[in-house]
Amino acid sequence: MDTTIYSDGHYTHEAIYLYWHQVESILGHEHEGEPGDDDRLVVYLLANGAPSWAASAEGWTDEHGWGLIGPVCTLS
């Protein structure tokens, strides 16, 4: 699990990001776009130290992986 930031163009958010090979390792198969896949990833993340906001976070995907968008943060 990588912690990162996500920008929606207006705000910067805390975020969690998994590369596709990490997703496949956790699920045991490629992500199929099903809500159950997302649920399994969130359960895994919470069991492995993800912040509590991960339980209700909005997600996103891109060509490199899968992520969760957390609360607005400020950059130092």
Q: Quick one: pLDDT at residue 37? A: 96
Q: What average pLDDT does this structure show over 18-26?
A: 97
**What gap in Å lies between CA 44 and CA 40, rounded to an integer?**
6
User: What pLDDT shows up at residue 75?
Assistant: 58
Angle between helices 35-47 and 20-27 (to 10 degrees): 90
pLDDT at 23: 97
- Average pLDDT, integer, range 23-41: 95
pLDDT at 20 over 70: yes
